[in-house]
Each structure stands twice: as C-alpha cells, then as structure tokens.
Amino acid sequence: MKFKLPGDPREFDVELTAIPGGAVQARINGDEEIVSAIESTPGGGGIVRIGRRAARIYSTRQRGSTWVSIGPAQFEFITVEPRSARRAHGLTTPEVTAPLPGKVVRLPVTEGQQVASGDVLVVLEAMKMETALHAESPAVIKQIRVTVGQTVDHGAVLVVLSPAPSPTKGAADPAAR
C-alpha cells in the first residue's frame, strides 16, 4: 500500500510479509528491508523488536488515516489511492471495526440510515477516554452488530455499511421523468 505523512509530498510504498515464528518483513519503497518480531500485549498494542531494540506500538484507523504510536512518538499516515479506484468502489470500507478493546458508550445511528463522510457511527470508551469512529465515505447503515454498554475486543466488527445511493440516479435517467 502507498502511504504519506500529512504535509509531506513524498509517498511511501510499504509491503509487509508475515514470516513464520511471529516475525514480519517490511519493505519500504522497494529497497529497505527490516525483519522484526511482533509480540501482542494486553490492551491491543504490541512490542516490535528489530535486532536488539524494542519499542511498544499501538495503531488505530480513523477517518481515512492510520495513527501509529511508537514509544513516545506518534505518526499519522494517509492511505494514497488512485482517484479512479476510489470512485469505482463507492465505499471506502464496508465494515467498521474496533481499533481497540473497549465499551460501546454511544451508537448515534440506526440500521437503514444514510450517513455522510465524517458522521459519527460509534463511540467507544477505553481507559476513561472516548474514541469516536466516523464514516469514511457516504454510506447506508446495513447492520449494527453491537449495543450500547457492550464490551468489544480489538478488531470486532461494530457496523456493516453498504454504498450510499447515487444522488443523481433519478435525474440522469430520462425514463424516471
């Protein structure tokens, strides 16, 4: 996948390959190669080991960005997609998943509701902090798989989306007149 940092014109082509034994091979822009071990930790994070160095890491997706925290540093990465690919799919992601374990504290949407890009779909609470999960593109709520008060694990599917109907469908169709 291609990523970039906000405000930085450079794009980074990142390829991750799992290696038996819990290690990961990372190839960045085709030339850099890093072999590291990743160990899961309670709370949804992990420890990345590269050679003799180790760092605690957490990541989450939010509004089209991937936030990565490594030790005291935080980085926001934006996925770079060709515009034609974005238009062809019509839906950025069909499932909204929990970026961390937590408790569902708000669910401001209902099944069948049409949502716009940026609308809040679910609010999770973990360690007394709230995390709002937003729609990444216009969509229709197809299925809600959680309830307020429910505890969820990292990666649990919270909401299933379907593409929003095209707003110009009736206007462009002469038979509809």
Q: Which domains does the chain have, with CATH numbers?
A: 2-80 (no CATH), 90-163 (2.40.50.100)
Query: What single letter denotes the amino acid at residue 145?
Result: R
- pLDDT value at residue 67: 78
Most distant pair of Cα atoms in the chain: their distance: 70
Residue 14 reports pLDDT greater than 70 = yes
Q: CB count, 10 Å around CB of 163?
A: 14
Tens of pLDDT along 82-126? 444 444 345 567 888 888 889 999 999 999 999 988 899 999 998
What does the DSSP assignment read for 78-102? EEE--HHHHHHHS-S-SEEE-SSSE
This prediction has a pTM of: 0.48
Tens of pLDDT along 19-55? 666 666 777 777 666 667 677 777 667 787 777 788 8
Alpha carbons 59 and 40: distance in angstroms, whole number: 12
- pLDDT value at residue 84: 41
